[in-house]
Structure formats: C-alpha cells, structure tokens
Structure 1
Amino acid sequence: MKHLSIAAMLIFLTASAFAQIAQPVKWAYAAKKINDKEAVIFIKATIDDGWHIYSQNIKDGGPVKTSFTFSPAAGYSLIGKTIEPAPITHFEKSFGMDVSYFEKTVVFQQKIKLKKAQTTVKGSLEYMTCNDHKCLPPTDLDFSVTIK
C-alpha cells in the first residue's frame, strides 16, 4: 500500500510539472482613435524578469523575430508597418550575431485607416522568448481589438 501511495504521488508531481509550461510573456491589446479616419492599435508585451523577446528586425540566421499579421477586413486598412521602440542590441553567442530584443515591456503600434466608424481589427502574432539559458519554441497568438 505504501508503494502505491508513493507511485501515485510521483505521477501527480510529474503531471504537475508538465502542466506548468513556462509562459514568461503576457500580451494585451488596445486601440485609440486619432480622429474619424485614423486609429492606432497598441500591442503590449509584458515580459518576466530574465526573459526577452526579439525585435521585428532580425536578420536571417538568428532567432525567430516578432511578427504581426493583420486579417484583411472591410472596416479598415493598414497605414505603413508596425512600429516598435528602440530595442536593446547585443551579440548572442548562440546565434553568432548581433540581435535586437526587448526586456520587461514593449508596445508595438500599428496605425490604421478607418473605413467604418466601428470595426474590429483581428490578426495574429508570432514571437520567441529566451533567457540566458534557453529559448522556448516560437508561439503564435490570435488577437482582436474593437475600435468604437
């Protein structure tokens, strides 16, 4: 009976460890109308201490860069590309190159032209997060922001 309890505890602990997949980045989305014809979509990443995500501007051969895809819709069109603040740039031995990344928080912005007074902007983003010891597999997320 004692061996059964230990075996059950080991199974529970193993299952708990696998259930706690690291998620060091939290994402939030918002929009602000500039005027009746334009708005800005804000995509904010809050990054746990010790972790970072990469810039949209990474050369081939490096880590997976952060990227945004906006779904076409009748209610809006994109104005230019998604912008980001100035990143930290540092040589990473694991990639053998300078890479640009963000720590703690970063807000990406996409300006849009409004074709309707109210619309919903949908899209997806891809990013990879690393710390000094490891990188997690790239993650894809869908997002949706309503503009009123």
Structure 2
Amino acid sequence: MKKISILLFLFICLATVAKSQILKPVVWSYAAKKTSANTATIFLKATIEDGWHLYSQFIKEGGPVKTTFTLTNGKGYALVGKVIEPKPITKYEDMFKMQIGYFEKSVVFQQKIKLSGKTAIVKGKVEFMVCNDTQCLPPDEVAFSVTVK
C-alpha cells in the first residue's frame, strides 16, 4: 500500500510539472463597437509574449500556417468584407525560402458587420501558429463569441 501511495504521489507530481510546461504565448481577446445604428466592427486582439511571433493571414503556400478566421453570417448580422489586419513585419525566412509576414507583441484584426437588429452575437474561430527563434508550436484553434450591443 505504501508503494502505491508513493507511486501515485510521483505520478501527480509529474503530471503537474508536465502541465506547467505547456506553452501558450498568445492570449486572444475580443470586443465590438457600433460604428452606426446598423454597422459595427469586431476587434480580435492577439497579445503575444516577448520573443514569439504570430503569422499574417496572407502567407503563400509552402510557408508556415497562416492565421485564419472563420466567421459566418448569423442571426442579427451579416459580414461586410473580410477580416482586415494592419501591415505586418515582413522578413525573408530561409526555412521557407520566401518573405513571411508576422506580428510581435500584439495585433488587432478587424471584421465589419451590418446589423439587422439592435444586438447580435458574432461567433467564430481563429486558427494560428506561433514561433520564436528556436521553435514553432503546432497550430492552435480558439473559438470566440462577441456580443454587439
């Protein structure tokens, strides 16, 4: 019984250490602002830890995984155009043999919508990949929901 207790204790310690090693260098936040009685802008902000970078939506085939937003028209609103982003930092990457656009520290993406009612809940997901000077993390996907009032 004592051996089982010791093994269980070691397993819990190892599981705690392993869990603390999971890297999450990007935190997403979301907001909405009405720009008129029937339009609004959704703000999708990525806060990026120092030393890491998040890729642009506009990466050519053969490069890293680009940031991709999936939003659909929903009850009370319709999408207007595509998600826009500010001008990224652009650098030639030897690994991919091409110019790559990316963001450091933080970036705010924007999606305009047309409202058909007073309020709406905009839902979607973002797929993204981040790298630093020594490693890239596997692509991640985060669902979001933004209320427009």
Scaled by the length of structure 2, what TM-score is found? 0.90
Query: Percent of counterpart pairs with the same letter?
Result: 55
RMSD: 2.0
Alignment match, 2:14: 14
1:109-133 deviation digits (Å, cap 9, x = unpaired): 0001111111100011100010011
Instruction: Please give the residue correspondences for 1:1-148 in structure 2 after superposition, counting only pairs within 5 Å.
Output: 11-20=11-20, 21-148=22-149
Please report how far the alpha carbon of residue 95 of structure 1 lies from its aligned counterpart in structure 2 after TM superposition. 1.7
2: CA distance between counterparts of 1:142 and 1:11? Answer: 32
Q: Supply the distance in 1 between the matched residues of 2:135 and 2:69 (Cα, whole angstroms).
A: 24
Q: What is the TM-score when the length of structure 1 is the normalising length?
A: 0.91
Instruction: Supply the distance in 1 between the matched residues of 2:60 and 2:141 (Cα, whole angstroms).
Output: 20
Q: Paired residues, what number?
A: 148
In structure 2, C-alpha distance between the alignment counterparts of 1:100 and 1:23, rounded to whole Å: 21
| Structure 1 residues without counterparts, runs of 5 or longer | none
Q: CA deviation at 1:11?
A: 3.9
Which whole-Å CA distance do the structure 1 matches of 2:138 and 2:97 have between them? 19
Query: Matched residue of 2:86: which SS?
Result: coil
Name stretches of at least 5 consecutive residues in structure 2 with no aligned partner: none
Query: AA paired with 1:25?
Result: V
Structure 1 130/79 Cα, relative in aligned 2: closer, same or farther at 3 Å? Answer: same
Indicate conservation of the 8 Å contact 2:92/2:98, yes or no.
yes
